[in-house]
Amino acid sequence: MLYLASASPRRTQLLTQLGIQHQVVTSDVVELRDEQETALAYGYRISLAKARAVADQLPDQTWVLSADTEVVLHDETLGKPENQSHFMQMMRRLSGQTHAVQTVICLMRGNECWQNHQLSLLTFRQLSDSELEAYWLSGEAQGKAGGYDIQGRAQAWVSQFQGSYSGVMGLPLYETEQLLRLAGCLE
Q: Domains (ranges, CATH) in the chain? A: 2-183 (3.90.950.10)
Per-residue pLDDT band at 187 (split at 50, 70, 90): confident
Question: Phi/psi of residue 114, each to 5°?
Answer: -125, 135
- pLDDT the model gives residue 156: 96
| pLDDT tens digits, 27-44 | 889 988 998 999 999 999
Report the b/e string of 4-34 with b at 16+ CB within 10 A.
bbbebebbbebbeeeebebeebebebeeebe
The per-residue pLDDT of the chain, averaged, comes to 95
Q: What is the pTM of this model?
A: 0.94
Nearest 5°: the CA angle 54, 79, 169 is 70
Enumerate the active-site residues: 68
